Structure 1
């Protein structure tokens, strides 16, 4: 993400701002699909469960939790969604009210949860642990602390994200010296042993951690628009945008589309929408 509030930085005129609306536009139902595939890796959530949706965003994981159980079980659940982003929590609570979820969203830092010890029967981090500090160890420690003995933790990360290589290639090809994007730091998450090690470092017993791999395909809508938004969000180089990025914007977006189009599972539907394949690691453990 970029800091659109900086006054002395250069911003290409084509850049699409990061807002809750554009985040939803670029992710579509990807968060829900990742959450659904992840929830399939644990036993069904029983009645009366007390669940933490950590880094909840607008509620993708909560929605899939509710959808995965019978209505009578859903009504018995207690769900706390937390996120450091106030706009995300506002969207979460609006969605919860509209959908009559047994859920409450709270603004909270995943690295310093305010919940008491041993609060939850289930703790879920959907596409969030790799975005937190210290490679997620601090957040996992807090999830361990607030999980009841016998409770289940579920976190996931990308084993393969086609955007990563595509953005790197566009960066190398359109910038002097091949300057890479500022966020070029996720490759280590491709190894399942890495996320397993994060859970162990967070306090969970090594022998209890399970990591499974699942594929998720997401309809990202209009491919041209998706590429523009993706480059806006992820293309900023480590030294910040410059005028050459503005001049070569269309070239970079074209290369991004070209590279994503080469990836396994990519296809264009009859209505012009693009489908992109991702692979995730799903890590689960019982405390």
Structure 2
């Protein structure tokens, strides 16, 4: 990192480093399960589809798309995965090669897609609209609308309920002077189905063509104690940055998270 703020930031000695690999461990198979339950809400993707996996990450949505169709059908797909993270795209491309996906990966900002108009039959933004794009995702939706063929299908999803959010807030209130809350609070407004519908409409889609559905999904978190440490390390940092107080009261914060999550 070249950011001077990052180089001088305080990091508690107990923290699990916020690396892409550790974020993936935190997410487990959540992205795959979210993509799967979303794809179940639309007709099967037909042969010859031209698909955009927007905010592709390591390829969770692409993997589910490929697995959801017969091999002779999925082999005819043309998939382009894009992500603003060069590291993610590199992993995506390696995975596409090793898995034999008909896919390519490109580094690209979802708010400023470098594609011509009306080229995709399907676009999926899997677990991306609420964490990355600016302007509440409206600019990104405008770009997805622009690049979809007339009559094309857009899938956007988000989490309506995130069980770890209240535990990290409570741990923050109890263990931090001034009860400084974590910087990670991005999910609350997305719990209202009308919120995401309004964003899609503001992005250019006709109101009558938009359908919002809520479905249950579950993620196997594995070792509970390890998961709790990952949650606090990746999601617990306060808006003011980590402090020595966080280091000194780290175990107390973990105990609060464990007690509420259980």
TM range (shorter): over 0.9
Contact 1:137 1:201 in 2 (8 A): yes
Runs of 4+ more than 3 Å apart: none
Q: For residue 106 of structure 2, what is the aligned residue in structure 1?
A: 106
Q: For residue 37 of structure 2, what is the aligned residue in structure 1?
A: 37
Q: Tell me the number of residue pairs that the alignment of Structure 1 and Structure 2 aligns.
A: 259
1:1-287 to structure 2, matched below 5 A, reads 6-131=6-131, 132-261=133-262
Contact 1:4 1:17 in 2 (8 A): no
- 1:84-103 deviation per Cα after TM superposition (whole angstroms, max 9, x unaligned): 11111111111111110011
TM-score scaled by structure 1? 0.88
Give the distance between the partners of 2:253 and 2:230, measured in 1 at CA. 12
- 1:200-227 deviation per Cα after TM superposition (whole angstroms, max 9, x unaligned): 0101001111000011111111111111
Contact 1:117 1:146 in 2 (8 A): yes
1 or 2, which has the higher strand percentage? 1
SS in 1 for 2:123: strand
Question: How far has the Cα of 1:184 moved from its partner?
Answer: 1.9
Question: How far has the Cα of 1:183 moved from its partner?
Answer: 2.0
Give the distance between the partners of 2:212 and 2:161, measured in 1 at CA. 15
Contact 2:162 2:187 in 1 (8 A): no
Structure 1 stretches lacking a partner, 5+ long:
262-287
Question: How far has the Cα of 1:10 moved from its partner?
Answer: 1.1
Question: How far has the Cα of 1:185 moved from its partner?
Answer: 3.3
Give the distance between the partners of 2:200 and 2:211, measured in 1 at CA. 10
